[in-house]
Amino acid sequence: MDFSSLLLMLHSINRWLIVLVTIIAVIKFAIGYFKKQEFTRTDGRIMSLWMGLLDLQLILGIILLFTQPPIRYRLEHGVIMILVVTLAHINRRWRNAESNIKFRNYTLLILIIALLIGVGVAALPQGWTG
């Protein structure tokens, strides 16, 4: 297996980790919002994990862009995903907010990002199957 194939495999595996953590985060944060729970260290770790996985995905994707021939759909996908990760980092803005505001804003942010990720993956000819 060459370096580019390994990176593509890691990029693909990480995609499903992002999907899993996204689902967990949306459910946990929505419950926290509706039940007016306190934002805990575990909640912060979930958000940090989600962000870390997005950042890792971006790094892997950028390396892939430089190790594979530039094809238009890869560039479109890459630009969309750079915007996605940049937007996702807005979560730091609410770091010191009240619990209910954090839960609400994180839930909405993650749902918007998930939608944009769907758009970015749709830019690829293989979509979610590749």
Q: Domain count for the chain, please give it.
A: 1
Domain that holds residue 79: 3-129
pLDDT at 4: 86
**Residues in the chain with pLDDT < 70?**
70, 130
Task: Tell me the pTM.
Answer: 0.91
Contact in structure between 93 and 63 (CB atoms under 8 Å)? no
Look over the chain and give the mean of its residue pLDDT values, rounded to a whole number: 92
pLDDT at 103: 97
pLDDT at 130: 63
